[in-house]
Amino acid sequence: MNRRLSRTFRWSAAVLSLIIMLIAAGCGSSGEVDTLEAIKKRGKLVAGVKYDTKLFGLQDPATGQVEGFDIDMAKALAKKILGDETKLELKEVTSKTRIDMLRNGDIDIIIATMTITEERKEQVDFSDVYFEAGQSLLVKKGSPITGLESLNKDTKVLTVKGSTSAQNIREKAPDAEILEFENYQDAFTALRAGQGDALTTDNSILLGMQKQDPNYELVGGNFTDEPYGMAIKKGNPEFVKTVNELLKEMKESGEYDRLYEQWMGIKPE
């Protein structure tokens, strides 16, 4: 009789332990730590930004400082959440690494010229659009390439791994040879070294390259729409709401227009 009770007790304890484990696992998958609360508790916003994209996020090799439109947006978000724009840590991301870094918890948010797409919406949540761009081509002045129609089996087009630009150019110019690089500066360096005939990505990024070297120019106009959004780990509706509130406030106050004109040299349309 005692042995039977002992077995029953052990069985009940095992079942109870299993139930507790299942509940914990369920909480871990659907109730992960709220990112906004984690930022407030930590006292610091960790933003994933580009270090190689002039006008948006470019690191000065002399000072180590990263500057650009995306950087100023990150500062504004830190100020909204924590009351101080300096309570911000920047981490370098590339088009290839940024989603994994977000999902792994290495960063709180991606602010890095990231186009909103249906495919990406399955992996992350996006803020409202904060910048409207379009894909174009950058070539050396005097190049025979004048647009998409000039790209053929004899042309090499440079782009960046993990970007929508790489997908788009394969669809728009299926005969051209496509070479992918880790980041935009590597791709631009390769273009200037004669390793390709054109470089393609968003016009906003290409404009930054043109400012770096006026021997290059944009041709053919835009052949896609590239709406940028800030990306947040799924399951954080309050964080998304906070970011959208910031964008609305900045546009209503004129701060957004000021930053846009400061970095792009023109007023937003």
Judge whether 36-132+227-264 and 134-226 match in fold.
yes
Instruction: Please tell me the predicted confidence (pLDDT) of residue 161.
Output: 92
- The C-alpha atoms of residue 182 and residue 29 are separated, in whole angstroms, by 32
CATH superfamily of 134-226: Periplasmic binding protein-like II (3.40.190.10)
What does the DSSP assignment read for 171-187?
HH-TTSEEEEESSHHHH
Instruction: Please tell me the predicted confidence (pLDDT) of residue 268.
Output: 82
- In tens digits, what is the pLDDT along the chain, a chain of 269 residues? 455 545 555 555 555 555 555 444 444 333 457 999 999 999 999 999 999 999 999 999 999 999 999 999 999 999 999 999 999 999 999 999 999 999 999 999 999 999 999 999 999 999 999 999 999 999 999 999 999 999 999 999 999 998 889 999 999 999 999 999 999 999 999 999 999 999 999 999 999 999 999 999 999 999 999 999 999 999 999 999 999 999 999 999 999 999 999 998 888 87
Q: Where are the domains of the chain?
A: 36-132+227-264, 134-226
Both tokens assigned to 200: 């393609």
Which overall architecture, per CATH, does domain 36-132+227-264 show? 3-Layer(aba) Sandwich (3.40)
Instruction: Please tell me the predicted confidence (pLDDT) of residue 26.
Output: 44
Q: Are 83 and 38 a contacting pair, CB within 8 Å?
A: no
Average of per-residue pLDDT values in the chain: 90
Q: In what order do the strands lie in the sheet with 57-59?
A: 52-53, 57-59, 66-67
- The C-alpha atoms of residue 132 and residue 48 are separated, in whole angstroms, by 20
**Percentage of residues in the chain having pLDDT higher than 90:** 83
- The C-alpha atoms of residue 87 and residue 46 are separated, in whole angstroms, by 9
